[in-house]
Amino acid sequence: MRKSFYMLVVFLLFFGFSLMAQEEKVFLSSKIEALWKTSADFKTPESVYFCKKLNVIFVSNINGKPLEKDNNGFISKLAPDGNIVKVDWIKGLHAPKGMGVYKERLFVTDIDRVAEIDITTEQIVRFYDVPDAKFLNDIVIDAAGRIYISDMQTSVIYILYNGVVKKWLIGKSLNGPNGLCLMKDFLLIGTRDKIQKVSILNKTISDYLLNTGGIDGLICYESKHLIYSDWSGNIYLACLGQETRKLMDTSPLKINAADIGFDYEKRIIFVPTFYDNRVMAYRLKD
């Protein structure tokens, strides 16, 4: 009995030290604080979108390979406090990624099509096929309902408006466009090595922020601030004319930071951890 007791104590101490060692590997800036993390009930969560009007978080789950048309993908609903409302809220997708909401409709990229989901009836009401697309990724929607969509593989930005999808920007200088956000009259595009700025009015492309590494999630807020993730596990805070600050790094634990979401009012960053199958929340401090 005594030997078993000592073995149990040794195990618990070893386990505790192992957890502490793992936590020490994670970098968390003093600029943010950890709030919560969900259980690992998601299936390759790629993107998170916080809908302020409905006070709900949507999570896209690839549940397979990012380019495989396997009908395994689905959308989850998550409460702002981290409680999972329903894991398989909307099914019938292949490999859903970027999301956006406009007038009670959730729009989701799905490889070479865009799904339109009626949030009230909880049904997919339409698919918009994009024949030339290869890897539709992120979505951002302006106040008029124009939906901008990135294709990471063909370096094209599409626009979906009034039920019609067409190529909006074919940028030879775009290197794997992924994360999108809107800043005043400009569309900002995160690529494999930098963030570029495109005029909505005349489609002029210019560099906005260099040497970023590969961009996944991209958030614009407070007129000229950016928050972006690089999928491997890093999240950064950037502002023109200021030094870019690393907010978080979970890459030593192989915990990814895919297409992040943001609560603009409470300044909370929602992080889908991809292979780690969770969503984590962090508050950005003043």
Per-residue pLDDT tens digits for 132-181: 999 999 999 999 999 999 999 999 999 999 999 999 999 788 999 999 99
Amino acid 172: pLDDT: 80
Judging by DSSP bridges, how do beta strands 164-170 and 84-93 pair with one another? unpaired
What sign for the dihedral angle of Cα 185, 102, 145, 187?
positive
- Check whether 13 has a pLDDT greater than 50: no
Name the CATH superfamily for 25-284: TolB, C-terminal domain (2.120.10.30)
Q: What's the pTM value of the predicted model, to 2 decimals?
A: 0.91
Q: What is the mean pLDDT of the chain?
A: 92
> Which pLDDT value is given to residue 33?
97
Distances (CA, A) of 196 to 172, 175, 184, 187, 238: 12, 10, 14, 8, 14
Dist. CA 105–CA 108, nearest whole Å: 10
Please name the helix (run of DSSP H) or strand (run of DSSP E) that holds residue 102, with its range, or none: strand 99-102
- Taking the C-alpha atoms of residue 150 and residue 111, their distance in angstroms, rounded to an integer, is 11
Q: Token pair of 77, please?
A: 């609903």
Length, in residues, of the chain: 286
How many CA within 13 A on the CB side of residue 62? 24
Neighbours of 242 (CB within 10 A): 10
The type of residue at 98 is G
The domains of the chain are located at 25-284
